[in-house]
Amino acid sequence: MGGGEEASNPRLRDAVKKALNANMKRDTIDNAIKRGVGGLDGDAMVVMRYEGYGPGGVAVLVDCLSDNKNRTVSEVRHAFTKNGGNLGTDGSVAYLFTHQGEILMVAGTSEDQVMEVALDAGADDVSVEEGQIEVITPVEAYHSVLNALHDAGLTVEQSQLTMRAQTLVPIDDESAESLIKLIDMLEDLDDVQEVYSNAEFSEKILESMS
Protein backbone atom coordinates (compact mmCIF):
# COMPACT_ATOMS: atom_id res chain seq x y z
CA MET A 1 0.00 0.00 0.00
CA GLY A 2 1.29 3.48 -0.85
CA GLY A 3 0.33 7.06 -1.46
CA GLY A 4 0.43 10.23 0.58
CA GLU A 5 -2.61 9.57 2.78
CA GLU A 6 -1.76 8.26 6.24
CA ALA A 7 -5.20 6.65 6.64
CA SER A 8 -4.60 4.32 3.69
CA ASN A 9 -0.84 3.82 4.01
CA PRO A 10 0.28 1.90 7.14
CA ARG A 11 3.97 2.29 6.29
CA LEU A 12 3.58 6.07 5.98
CA ARG A 13 1.63 6.22 9.26
CA ASP A 14 4.42 4.39 11.03
CA ALA A 15 7.11 6.61 9.48
CA VAL A 16 5.21 9.74 10.57
CA LYS A 17 4.89 8.40 14.12
CA LYS A 18 8.65 7.74 14.28
CA ALA A 19 9.43 11.19 12.89
CA LEU A 20 7.21 12.85 15.50
CA ASN A 21 8.84 10.78 18.24
CA ALA A 22 12.21 12.06 16.98
CA ASN A 23 10.92 15.64 17.48
CA MET A 24 10.61 16.42 13.78
CA LYS A 25 8.16 19.27 13.19
CA ARG A 26 4.79 18.33 11.72
CA ASP A 27 5.16 20.95 8.94
CA THR A 28 8.47 19.38 7.89
CA ILE A 29 6.88 15.93 7.76
CA ASP A 30 3.87 17.16 5.77
CA ASN A 31 6.09 18.95 3.24
CA ALA A 32 8.20 15.82 2.75
CA ILE A 33 5.02 13.81 2.13
CA LYS A 34 3.74 16.40 -0.36
CA ARG A 35 7.06 16.38 -2.25
CA GLY A 36 6.88 12.60 -2.35
CA VAL A 37 3.48 12.66 -4.08
CA GLY A 38 4.18 15.70 -6.25
CA GLY A 39 2.34 18.27 -4.16
CA LEU A 40 5.29 20.66 -3.77
CA ASP A 41 8.10 21.86 -5.98
CA GLY A 42 11.43 20.16 -5.40
CA ASP A 43 12.77 16.66 -5.79
CA ALA A 44 10.40 13.94 -4.62
CA MET A 45 11.25 11.98 -1.50
CA VAL A 46 11.45 8.31 -2.44
CA VAL A 47 11.52 5.26 -0.18
CA MET A 48 14.39 2.92 -1.10
CA ARG A 49 15.67 -0.35 0.33
CA TYR A 50 19.23 -1.60 -0.09
CA GLU A 51 20.38 -5.13 0.63
CA GLY A 52 23.85 -6.38 1.39
CA TYR A 53 26.20 -8.56 3.38
CA GLY A 54 28.06 -7.42 6.45
CA PRO A 55 31.14 -8.84 8.19
CA GLY A 56 30.76 -12.54 8.88
CA GLY A 57 28.39 -12.89 5.94
CA VAL A 58 25.33 -11.64 7.85
CA ALA A 59 22.41 -10.17 5.93
CA VAL A 60 21.78 -6.42 6.21
CA LEU A 61 18.74 -4.41 5.07
CA VAL A 62 18.88 -0.61 4.86
CA ASP A 63 15.67 1.41 4.50
CA CYS A 64 16.15 4.96 3.19
CA LEU A 65 14.11 8.05 2.41
CA SER A 66 15.88 10.29 -0.10
CA ASP A 67 15.48 12.92 -2.79
CA ASN A 68 18.71 11.81 -4.51
CA LYS A 69 19.12 8.12 -5.27
CA ASN A 70 22.67 8.44 -6.61
CA ARG A 71 23.88 10.17 -3.44
CA THR A 72 22.19 7.65 -1.19
CA VAL A 73 23.43 4.50 -2.92
CA SER A 74 26.96 5.93 -3.03
CA GLU A 75 26.96 6.65 0.70
CA VAL A 76 25.43 3.27 1.58
CA ARG A 77 27.91 1.40 -0.64
CA HIS A 78 30.82 3.30 0.93
CA ALA A 79 29.67 2.31 4.42
CA PHE A 80 29.52 -1.37 3.45
CA THR A 81 32.91 -1.33 1.71
CA LYS A 82 34.67 0.53 4.52
CA ASN A 83 33.47 -1.97 7.13
CA GLY A 84 34.13 -5.31 5.47
CA GLY A 85 30.78 -5.77 3.76
CA ASN A 86 29.38 -5.44 0.28
CA LEU A 87 26.19 -4.11 -1.25
CA GLY A 88 24.06 -6.79 -2.87
CA THR A 89 21.34 -6.84 -5.51
CA ASP A 90 17.60 -6.49 -4.99
CA GLY A 91 16.24 -9.68 -3.45
CA SER A 92 19.64 -10.97 -2.34
CA VAL A 93 18.79 -11.01 1.39
CA ALA A 94 15.25 -9.59 1.81
CA TYR A 95 13.79 -13.10 1.72
CA LEU A 96 15.57 -13.80 5.03
CA PHE A 97 13.32 -11.26 6.81
CA THR A 98 9.60 -11.00 7.51
CA HIS A 99 7.76 -7.67 7.39
CA GLN A 100 5.56 -7.54 10.47
CA GLY A 101 4.26 -5.48 13.35
CA GLU A 102 5.75 -5.65 16.85
CA ILE A 103 3.88 -4.35 19.89
CA LEU A 104 5.36 -4.30 23.40
CA MET A 105 3.03 -3.91 26.37
CA VAL A 106 3.83 -2.03 29.58
CA ALA A 107 5.03 -4.11 32.53
CA GLY A 108 2.28 -5.64 34.64
CA THR A 109 -0.22 -6.02 31.80
CA SER A 110 -2.39 -9.15 31.96
CA GLU A 111 -1.00 -11.75 29.56
CA ASP A 112 -4.36 -13.53 29.28
CA GLN A 113 -6.17 -10.31 28.41
CA VAL A 114 -3.57 -9.27 25.84
CA MET A 115 -3.67 -12.71 24.24
CA GLU A 116 -7.46 -12.72 24.01
CA VAL A 117 -7.75 -9.20 22.58
CA ALA A 118 -4.74 -9.38 20.24
CA LEU A 119 -5.47 -12.78 18.72
CA ASP A 120 -9.14 -11.89 18.17
CA ALA A 121 -7.98 -8.75 16.32
CA GLY A 122 -5.69 -10.70 13.98
CA ALA A 123 -2.32 -10.98 15.75
CA ASP A 124 -0.06 -13.89 14.79
CA ASP A 125 1.48 -14.51 18.20
CA VAL A 126 1.74 -13.30 21.79
CA SER A 127 4.86 -14.18 23.79
CA VAL A 128 6.37 -13.30 27.16
CA GLU A 129 10.10 -13.00 27.87
CA GLU A 130 11.43 -11.75 31.20
CA GLY A 131 8.04 -10.29 32.03
CA GLN A 132 7.74 -8.36 28.74
CA ILE A 133 4.69 -9.16 26.64
CA GLU A 134 5.27 -8.94 22.88
CA VAL A 135 2.56 -9.10 20.24
CA ILE A 136 3.47 -10.02 16.65
CA THR A 137 1.08 -9.06 13.86
CA PRO A 138 0.92 -9.29 10.07
CA VAL A 139 1.35 -5.85 8.50
CA GLU A 140 -2.28 -5.65 7.38
CA ALA A 141 -3.56 -6.27 10.95
CA TYR A 142 -1.05 -4.03 12.75
CA HIS A 143 -3.28 -1.00 13.29
CA SER A 144 -6.37 -3.12 13.96
CA VAL A 145 -4.54 -4.90 16.78
CA LEU A 146 -3.20 -1.61 18.17
CA ASN A 147 -6.70 -0.12 18.17
CA ALA A 148 -8.20 -3.22 19.79
CA LEU A 149 -5.62 -3.15 22.60
CA HIS A 150 -6.29 0.55 23.15
CA ASP A 151 -10.07 0.06 23.15
CA ALA A 152 -9.66 -2.70 25.75
CA GLY A 153 -7.86 -0.24 28.05
CA LEU A 154 -4.47 -1.94 27.63
CA THR A 155 -1.37 0.27 27.48
CA VAL A 156 1.22 -0.16 24.72
CA GLU A 157 4.80 0.73 25.64
CA GLN A 158 6.23 0.60 22.11
CA SER A 159 5.04 -0.39 18.65
CA GLN A 160 6.53 -0.48 15.17
CA LEU A 161 6.45 -2.05 11.74
CA THR A 162 9.74 -3.84 11.27
CA MET A 163 11.69 -6.44 9.32
CA ARG A 164 12.42 -9.38 11.61
CA ALA A 165 15.08 -11.94 10.71
CA GLN A 166 13.57 -15.39 10.26
CA THR A 167 16.74 -17.05 11.58
CA LEU A 168 19.65 -15.44 13.45
CA VAL A 169 23.21 -16.16 12.33
CA PRO A 170 25.88 -16.43 15.07
CA ILE A 171 29.02 -14.40 14.37
CA ASP A 172 32.36 -14.16 16.16
CA ASP A 173 33.21 -11.13 18.29
CA GLU A 174 35.62 -9.63 15.75
CA SER A 175 32.99 -9.74 13.00
CA ALA A 176 30.40 -8.43 15.44
CA GLU A 177 32.51 -5.38 16.26
CA SER A 178 32.94 -4.62 12.55
CA LEU A 179 29.21 -5.10 11.97
CA ILE A 180 28.37 -2.66 14.76
CA LYS A 181 30.66 -0.08 13.12
CA LEU A 182 28.88 -0.68 9.81
CA ILE A 183 25.44 -0.27 11.37
CA ASP A 184 26.53 2.87 13.24
CA MET A 185 27.94 4.38 10.04
CA LEU A 186 24.76 3.60 8.13
CA GLU A 187 22.52 5.01 10.87
CA ASP A 188 24.56 8.24 10.84
CA LEU A 189 23.61 8.84 7.19
CA ASP A 190 20.85 11.44 6.82
CA ASP A 191 18.91 9.37 4.28
CA VAL A 192 18.90 6.14 6.31
CA GLN A 193 15.74 5.46 8.32
CA GLU A 194 16.25 1.89 9.58
CA VAL A 195 18.96 -0.80 9.51
CA TYR A 196 18.20 -4.49 10.08
CA SER A 197 20.49 -7.52 10.30
CA ASN A 198 20.15 -11.23 11.07
CA ALA A 199 23.25 -11.34 13.28
CA GLU A 200 23.20 -13.14 16.62
CA PHE A 201 25.60 -11.39 19.01
CA SER A 202 27.44 -13.08 21.89
CA GLU A 203 26.71 -12.10 25.50
CA LYS A 204 30.07 -10.30 25.59
CA ILE A 205 29.14 -8.08 22.65
CA LEU A 206 25.64 -7.45 23.97
CA GLU A 207 27.07 -6.34 27.31
CA SER A 208 29.48 -3.96 25.58
CA MET A 209 26.55 -2.45 23.66
CA SER A 210 24.41 -1.86 26.75
Domains of the chain, residue spans: 6-94+169-209, 97-165
The top-level CATH class assigned to 6-94+169-209 is alpha beta
With cut-offs at 50, 70 and 90, classify the pLDDT of residue 80: very high
With cut-offs at 50, 70 and 90, classify the pLDDT of residue 66: confident
Q: How many CB atoms lie within 10 A of CB 135?
A: 27
Residue 1 has pLDDT above 50, yes or no: no
- Exposed/middle/buried for residue 18 (C-beta within 10 Å: 0-12, 13-18, 19+): middle
The CA distance from 83 to 152, in Å, is: 47
User: Is the fold of 6-94+169-209 the same as that of 97-165?
Assistant: yes
Whether the Cβ atoms of residue 193 and residue 32 lie closer than 8 Å to each other: no
What's residue 51's pLDDT?
Answer: 98
Higher confidence at residue 26 or residue 21? 26
What's residue 210's pLDDT?
Answer: 63
Q: Which residues pair with 132 in a beta bridge?
A: 129
pLDDT, the chain, mean = 87
Domain 97-165 has CATH 3.30.70.980: yes
With cut-offs at 50, 70 and 90, classify the pLDDT of residue 25: low
With cut-offs at 50, 70 and 90, classify the pLDDT of residue 128: very high
pTM score of the predicted model: 0.75
